[in-house]
Amino acid sequence: MSDDNSEITGSDEVDGTSGFSTNFENADLGDEESNQGLFDDLLSGEPIFENKEVLRPSYTPHELPHRSDQINKMATILVAALRGETPSNILIYGKTGTGKTASAKFVSKELESTSQKYSVPCDVEYINCEVTDTQYRVLAQLANKFIEKNKARIDDRVAELESLLDDLDEYDADAARRSTDVIESSTEADDQTASDPFDFASSEETEPDTDISTGTDTGAMSGGSPLEEGGSSGGPADSADPSPSAEETGLADVNGTDHDDATTDPTAPPPDHPLESTAFETRAEVDDRITELEDDKDSFEEVPMTGWPTDRVYSVFFDAVDYDERVVVIMLDEIDKLVEKSGDDTLYNLSRMNSELENSRVSIIGISNDLKFTDFLDPRVKSSLGEEEIVFPPYDANQLRDILKHRSEVAFKGNALSDDVIPLCAAFAAQEHGDARRALDLLRTAGELAERSQAETIVEEHVRQAQDKIELDRVVEVVRTLPTQSKLVLFAIILLEKNGVHSINTGEVFNIYKRLCEEIDADVLTQRRVTDLISELDMLGIVNAVVVSKGRYGRTKEISLSVPLEETEAVLLSDSRLSDIDDVQPFVQARFEN
């Protein structure tokens, strides 16, 4: 392989994280006719962002300014989980963008990492109840998450047990080798004694002769020679020259310690048995445990998102949670949406689980924008759920400025922001109940607009453009998700305003609404129900409906559009049903002025 990287990458610079070429100036565009230069101008400018994800609401920062009190209070409650105890349930209140979810996720991440550090089993699960808004879906999602965790833990345990079996195999093989070495050493010693013609003579020369009766030395140590002692030596062979030593003959000691190729010392103590420090006594018990764990894994059945009775889903969730000894913290974001959609049955079941669980313990963290949602809960649920309450106050402009400054240091390249950008974003967001999420969206959108215009610096004008864009995007999203009947009512109001009608009343809206229903063959609601739909549009901020008195002619609502007319009409016409409506001219009834 060549050391010259140019043979591999050419003149392109390669991004070490993604592997994509980032040198756009020297890139080979290939076929000029197929490349129209659509993105060339966009790529030619210098990027403003260093890490745009830091400005998104989903990002959990390593530090949360001005929320240390709330974070510390959560930590003092949840530390019980690290002691193996059940933490108190927590309810977190605060308006949108006050750092509730970010703070709860930050504390949860710290809790899980600390539990791993001290080997304390603790699991945290997050559910967004605005999306998962029924008891069935909440229980099914939780059940499947814990089933997945249980399977992963079973796999880890099986792997550990299989490793233990490998250690047993190695231990048994080692024991067999040791036994064989001992036998071979003994046999080698016997063979050596039988085949060595000088063995006896050597033994007599190396060991002094001792008179059995007197206990005195009679051999070399007393000054005698072999020849002198020949009569008592036992025959002619004893008169030969002394035998060479073991070193001279090249024969090893009978114990085998002088062998150059010796592999095992039979006299060394055997290693500890692999099962000595475990709960198992035999290999069969280990095999049985592996089979038991694999059967447990096969018994877990994932819950489908629809189709089961709720009590069966709860039973599966209960068994999955209680399979292991652990403390479980369930975080329910937008908990008021769950109560609004499906009542308090879910909270009742979750808050009462601990009285039936044997191995695990469950704690609940509820996060809500509605300070009064507990007023609608069953008193038993309210008492068990609201053990601890933490309120997150709105940020003021100075606090928002600190948050934006802290994030911008990571999000943008150096000198990308003019001095007035962060204060302006903070001021706009502070006007809307201190919403940090809105402030971050403003700053991110301002950066995107500046980057699209190939500006090197984000200035005040980009922030004001971002404010208008975000407002329009919000309107588009709200209008796009309206029910068909609400869209028809809104379309009627738009048609009246397009034809110069101001201070529109409910009767005029109802007349146009009926004609629109006839156009698309939709059911016609009563005028009272249309009035309710107008009130809902007013609550969403799409229209402005004010009740005024007409004296003896009674009271009526005067309605005006609160959103850009053309953009809103375009969103309505993007609906396939409303796009078929022909041009409907509004009929304006005669008005009686006071």
pLDDT, tens digit (0-9, with 9 covering 90-100), for 359-416: 999 999 999 988 788 877 888 888 777 678 999 999 999 999 999 999 998 899 888 8
Does the pLDDT at position 231 exceed 80?
A: no
Give the pLDDT score at 594.
42
Mean pLDDT of the chain: 79
Place of tokens 């150096």: 414
Q: What is the rounded distance in angstroms from the CA atom of residue 22 to the CA atom of residue 35?
A: 18
Q: What is the rounded distance in angstroms from the CA atom of residue 108 to the CA atom of residue 77?
A: 12
Give the pLDDT score at 7.
40
Q: Over the stretch 547-594, which tens digit does the pLDDT of each residue have?
A: 777 677 677 778 988 888 888 888 888 888 887 776 655 554 544 444
> Strand ranges (DSSP E) for 353-491?
361-368, 388-392
Give the pLDDT score at 218.
42
- pTM listed for this prediction: 0.65
396: CB partners within 8 A, 6+ apart: 430, 434
- The CA-based diameter of the chain, rounded to the nearest angstrom, is 160
* Selection from 322, 321, 304 nearest residue 313 by Cα: 304
Q: What is the 3-state secondary structure (H, E, C) of 534-570?
A: HHHHHHCCCEEEEEEECHHHCEEEEEEECCCHHHHHH
Residues linked to residue 127 through DSSP beta bridges, in sequence order: 332
483: CB partners within 8 A, 6+ apart: none
**Angle at which helices 565-573 and 484-498 cross, to 10°:** 140
Least confident of 332-346, 435-449, 521-535, 547-561: 547-561
With H, G, I as helix, E, B as strand and everything else as coil, classify residue 362: strand
User: CB of 407 within 8 A of CB of 56?
Assistant: no
Does the pLDDT at position 246 exceed 60?
A: no
Local structure of residue 254 (DSSP, 8 states): T
Average pLDDT over residues 483-493: 92
Give the pLDDT score at 364.
94
Q: Over the stretch 269-292, which tens digit does the pLDDT of each residue have?
A: 667 888 888 888 888 999 999 999
Q: What is the rounded distance in angstroms from the CA atom of residue 564 to the CA atom of residue 473?
A: 11
Determine which helix (DSSP H) or strand (DSSP E) holds 429, and give its type and residue range.
Answer: helix 421-431
Which tokens sit at 208? Answer: 């002094």
Pairing outcome for strands 388-392 and 90-94 = parallel
Give the pLDDT score at 278.
86
Residue 569: how many other CB atoms lie within 10 Å: 19
Does the pLDDT at position 194 exceed 60?
A: no
578: CB partners within 8 A, 6+ apart: 484, 487, 488, 491, 520, 572
pLDDT band at 160 (very low <50, low <70, confident <90, very high): very high
**pLDDT winner (highest mean) among 20-29, 468-477, 547-556:** 468-477
**Angle at which helices 421-431 and 397-411 cross, to 10°:** 130
Give the pLDDT score at 266.
56
Higher pLDDT, 214 or 480: 480
Does the pLDDT at position 418 exceed 70?
A: yes
Share of the chain above pLDDT 90, in %: 35
453: CB partners within 8 A, 6+ apart: none
Q: Over the stretch 74-117, which tens digit does the pLDDT of each residue have?
A: 999 999 999 988 999 999 999 888 999 999 999 999 999 999 99
Give the pLDDT score at 35.
61
Higher pLDDT, 5 or 191: 191
pLDDT band at 226 (very low <50, low <70, confident <90, very high): very low
Q: Say which amino acid occupies 505.
A: N
Give the pLDDT score at 38.
65
Higher pLDDT, 210 or 150: 150
Write down the H helix ranges in 412-483. Answer: 421-431, 436-452, 460-480
Which tokens sit at 577? Answer: 């049903």
Q: What is the rounded distance in angstroms from the CA atom of residue 582 to the CA atom of residue 580?
A: 6
Please classify residue 113 by burial: count the beta carbons closer than 10 Å to its beta carbon, then call 0-12 exposed, 13-18 middle and 19+ buried.
exposed
The string of DSSP codes covering 336-359 is HHHHHHHTTHHHHHHHTGGGT-SS
pLDDT band at 215 (very low <50, low <70, confident <90, very high): very low
With H, G, I as helix, E, B as strand and everything else as coil, classify residue 21: strand
User: CB of 98 within 8 A of CB of 395?
Assistant: yes
User: CB of 352 within 8 A of CB of 141?
Assistant: no
Task: Report the length, in residues, of the chain.
Answer: 594
Q: What is the rounded distance in angstroms from the CA atom of residue 151 to the CA atom of residue 297?
A: 6
Give the pLDDT score at 384.
75
Alpha carbon distances (Å) from 552 to 96, 505, 555, 556, 593: 44, 16, 9, 12, 11
Does the pLDDT at position 2 exceed 50?
A: no
